[in-house]
Amino acid sequence: MSTALDTALRAALAEAERALASGDVPVGAVVLDPGGAVVGRGRNEREAAGDPTAHAEVLALRDAARRRGEWRLSGCTLAVTLEPCVMCAGATVLSRVDRLVYGARDPKAGAAGSMWDLVRDPRLNHRPEVIPPDLVDADVAAACSGLLTRFFGRRRG
């Protein structure tokens, strides 16, 4: 994986860690513009905002669209610590990002290859390139999954 995508996933991981303060599931996301600059940030805020749609990816895509002044995020990359759910995968497709990179698989609700593969469905008019955890830096992927494992371990224990 390129250094820019490693850096993006680390930035998403920092956002995920910020979600812990509000009791939200620690998922973070950033959007990179075509030049590699971060133009959108988000972290899960469902608990903090009382909003079922306040997922990290949706908030990062909204932030990027606001900053760029348009909803089409062509040429952009969405980097997220956890594989997007169906809602977030749909938002990824509809925003027209060129690339999705994620650090941990979600076998229960992932919609980028684990449970479903919405982002690469050939019936859709846009399909971003997908870079799953096995194609990212192993240390970054382990940090993404480890943060979630620790969070849920504390909630259960």
pLDDT mean for each 10 residues of the chain (157 residues): 84 96 95 97 97 98 98 98 98 98 97 97 96 94 96 82
Supply angle C-alpha 46, 143, 43, rounded to 5: 20
Q: Which of 45, 57, 83, 129 is catalytic?
A: 57
Q: Is 126 annotated as a binding residue?
A: no
Which architecture, in CATH terms, is 3-144? 3-Layer(aba) Sandwich (3.40)
Return d(Cα 16, Cα 5) in angstroms, integer: 16
Query: Among positive and negative, which fits the CA dihedral 142, 144, 150, 152?
Result: negative
83 is catalytic: no
Q: Is the full-model pTM beyond 0.75?
A: yes
Spans of all domains in the chain: 3-144
